[in-house]
Structure 1
């Protein structure tokens, strides 16, 4: 008779190693996101529910357990409705695979399918930081320590290029070209894009690599932790932890920093600040690596301050146009960096 625990982990292993990469053709980012979801869920089962990992079965991770886990993460990690639904979809996908591979497990799939998704507003609110809040957050780490230097450079780079967490963690040492002031990112669907970085960011990169990558190979992970005397890519859990830590510290000098800050807010903040500076939404779409231009419209919907300022100009009779940004009528500037032209 098959051991229930062996059955659970066998299917989970095959889902990650065979089905996702080979049969479904999922991107590395999708597989990594699913892996993080299951790591968090199993940690919740072990630490909160007190079930040893060697005793986990399909019956243990039932509908009630999954709902409690998702609600717990919303409360402690400030998950949005979108994140909640994405994590639920990942869990459902595994149960769907398991039920296909072993039909007797269909009862567990039916149980999980009964978990409703959260309703999301048609125009979601974009949680972003003001420029002063970003400045306070980036100044919070102590760069005289190695950990502080790493944390500060990570947040500076993430904000500068509005990168996703997974894109940051996939970076290698050779992905930044400080001579040309560019960075190469691999986005969703393995879509590459090249973006500009500032001279200040390049200077931070030099200090960071002098401390962490003095004799590194260009293919080494840019951000790493040491496990078993080996460099392994840093986890998004670690990033979330130090961002929250520095946000708490920065809040003492900047009241504009909200109580709950997560890494993706740096991406949203940069995108919003580019939009406020006058960058066209079409170029922001390319900058962020969005496949669907409609996704970027959230910044236009969200920025009421720009609408208020426009209304004030009309009310005061001001007719002079705002300063023309450097990229006005020069789509080639960003399009060339995004790799859209030869």
Structure 2
């Protein structure tokens, strides 16, 4: 490996292992996201016939970063949001590197000048119906230990509306099942803590689950874990994604109400949508989701809001209304003069 390559990789190592956790106080999830972004960028540079052991700051340029971003969007089908997140990670690393090596200042300024791409496509969230939820929850095999665990995971994932990593990070100390108001304490983005109430039925499921899966009740144990040869480790998001996808395929065979391509974040959207449909005000939904800005919630649920209004209008319109019963028959097709007036041509 060349000296320039060693210098480049040491800067990345120090950035990820020292600067982000110790000086920025970044959360483990943020560090993981930045690591994945830098790995993707390096993989892209390698794909341009640059050997990994020879990659250095000389391989990094504004053109390289911009072509990497286009590659993510066009070849890898990344969303604009994901593209912008990768750009933010590269900018952050270059800013860090240039502050410690002034010879990189010009390169940092060139990359810092790359603007985020605006997303002009309305974001339409994916969610399933409450009827679909019933079918999904029937899929885990309750005769198997993993099936029992999966069912409780699906229940708490839906009931809390939390992000999958927030559920995976839950420890027994975060579960509060005593008293009349059971709740869980989750740590969200930016290490922000929020308290989420859970339903009585969810508490009952959690009590039974803990009796079987946590008989020793160690406060720092992860609520959900995997057990390999007697060694417990925190369950991974990949593991969750696999069994949720499997239950989605199984459920879809029984009813098309169940999305064929089911994924963890759909539970969060679905729970929020069901609460919103059933009367929870949007500001409360935003707080419950842990959105720091109401604009985020409005952006996600604007289309659903229009659908709800349309359904409400149709339900509130009497069947005697001529617009509903078909008594009103307006035949304008052959009236060219009227059509011109309607469209402002006359």
TM over 0.5: yes
1:166 aligns with 2:168: no
Partner of 2:313: 311
- TM-score for the superposition, normalised by structure 2: 0.74
Partner of 1:134: 133
Report the Cα offset of residue 236 of structure 1: 2.5
- TM-score for the superposition, normalised by structure 1: 0.75
1:283 aligns with 2:284: yes
Write the mapping of 1:297-336 to structure 2, written as runs, cut at 5 A.
Answer: 297-298=298-299, 300-303=301-304, 304-316=306-318
**Per-residue displacement from partner, 1:293-323 (whole Å, max 9, x unpaired)?**
22222354121331112211443289xxxxx
SS of the aligned residue for 2:254 comes to: coil
Report the Cα offset of residue 262 of structure 1: 2.6
Kindly tell me: are residues 241 and 144 of structure 1, through their superposed partners in 2, closer, same or farther at Cα, counting changes over 3 Å? same
Report the Cα offset of residue 160 of structure 1: 0.4
Partner of 2:155: 156
Partner of 1:12: 12
Would you say the 8 A contact 2:125–2:301 is kept in 1? no
Write the mapping of 1:218-229 to structure 2, written as runs, cut at 5 A.
Answer: 218-225=219-226
Would you say the 8 A contact 1:153–1:205 is kept in 2? yes
1:182 aligns with 2:189: no
CA–CA distance in structure 2, aligned partners of residues 47 and 86 of structure 1: 21
SS of the aligned residue for 1:252 comes to: helix
- Structure 2 portions without partners, runs of 5+: 321-346
1:24 aligns with 2:24: yes
Partner of 2:259: 258
Kindly tell me: are residues 27 and 255 of structure 1, through their superposed partners in 2, closer, same or farther at Cα, counting changes over 3 Å? same
CA–CA distance in structure 1, aligned partners of residues 228 and 50 of structure 2: 25
CA–CA distance in structure 2, aligned partners of residues 183 and 143 of structure 1: 24
Kindly tell me: are residues 91 and 185 of structure 1, through their superposed partners in 2, closer, same or farther at Cα, counting changes over 3 Å? same
CA–CA distance in structure 2, aligned partners of residues 53 and 242 of structure 1: 35
Larger Rg: 2
Partner of 1:335: none
CA–CA distance in structure 2, aligned partners of residues 46 and 230 of structure 1: 38
Kindly tell me: are residues 53 and 145 of structure 1, through their superposed partners in 2, closer, same or farther at Cα, counting changes over 3 Å? farther
SS of the aligned residue for 2:313 comes to: helix
Kindly tell me: are residues 226 and 42 of structure 1, through their superposed partners in 2, closer, same or farther at Cα, counting changes over 3 Å? farther
**Per-residue displacement from partner, 1:229-267 (whole Å, max 9, x unpaired)?**
653333323333332232222221121333443321111
Report the Cα offset of residue 170 of structure 1: 1.6
CA–CA distance in structure 2, aligned partners of residues 22 and 269 of structure 1: 37
Moved more, 233-242 or 161-170: 233-242
SS of the aligned residue for 2:26 comes to: coil
CA–CA distance in structure 2, aligned partners of residues 69 and 80 of structure 1: 8
CA–CA distance in structure 1, aligned partners of residues 45 and 247 of structure 2: 28
CA–CA distance in structure 2, aligned partners of residues 142 and 111 of structure 1: 55
Kindly tell me: are residues 25 and 251 of structure 1, through their superposed partners in 2, closer, same or farther at Cα, counting changes over 3 Å? same
CA–CA distance in structure 2, aligned partners of residues 210 and 230 of structure 1: 19
CA–CA distance in structure 2, aligned partners of residues 226 and 115 of structure 1: 46
Would you say the 8 A contact 1:272–1:299 is kept in 2? no
Q: What is the number of equivalent residue pairs in this alignment?
A: 313
- Structure 1 portions without partners, runs of 5+: 319-342
Kindly tell me: are residues 175 and 101 of structure 1, through their superposed partners in 2, closer, same or farther at Cα, counting changes over 3 Å? same
Kindly tell me: are residues 120 and 21 of structure 1, through their superposed partners in 2, closer, same or farther at Cα, counting changes over 3 Å? same
Name the Cα RMSD after superposition. 3.7
Kindly tell me: are residues 136 and 107 of structure 1, through their superposed partners in 2, closer, same or farther at Cα, counting changes over 3 Å? farther
Report the Cα offset of residue 89 of structure 1: 2.0
Report the Cα offset of residue 65 of structure 1: 5.3
Partner of 2:329: none
CA–CA distance in structure 2, aligned partners of residues 309 and 29 of structure 1: 40
CA–CA distance in structure 2, aligned partners of residues 208 and 72 of structure 1: 43
Report the Cα offset of residue 228 of structure 1: 9.1
SS of the aligned residue for 1:251 comes to: helix
